[in-house]
């Protein structure tokens, strides 16, 4: 049986007020620490989406959100 080391609850600073580190750095740190995966569980943050012009499509906003 294989075992995996995974953190199932991680926040990043891109959209969660409680996150203190950028998603790309978080991923790098977890990889260096020997984790096989992690789940980003950022909170919905209206201010993240307010930075876009009103004409920006919801799909583009979500794509940017998912990039971290």
What's the pLDDT tens digit per position in 35-64?
A: 999 999 988 778 878 889 999 999 998 888
Q: What is the value of pTM for the model shown?
A: 0.67
The residue-averaged pLDDT of 16-40 equals 92
Residues 29 and 3: their CA atoms lie apart, in Å, by 20
Cβ neighbours for 19, distance < 8 A, ≥ 6 positions apart: 11, 12, 13, 42
User: Residue 10 forms beta bridges with which residues?
Assistant: 40
Residue found under tokens 């980003």 = 40
| Contact predicate 6/37, CB 8 Å | yes
The residue-averaged pLDDT of 14-18 equals 79
Can you give the pLDDT at residue 68? Answer: 62
Residues of the chain with pLDDT > 70, as a percent, come to: 99
Q: Look at 52 and 65; give whichever has higher pLDDT.
A: 52
């Amino acid at each position: 049986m294989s075992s995996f080391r995974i953190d199932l609850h991680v926040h990043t600073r891109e959209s969660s007020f409680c996150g203190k580190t950028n998603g790309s750095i978080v991923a790098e740190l977890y990889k260096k620490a020997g984790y096989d995966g992690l789940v980003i569980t950022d909170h919905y943050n209206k201010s993240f989406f307010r930075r876009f012009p009103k004409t920006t499509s919801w799909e583009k906003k979500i794509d940017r959100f998912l990039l971290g």
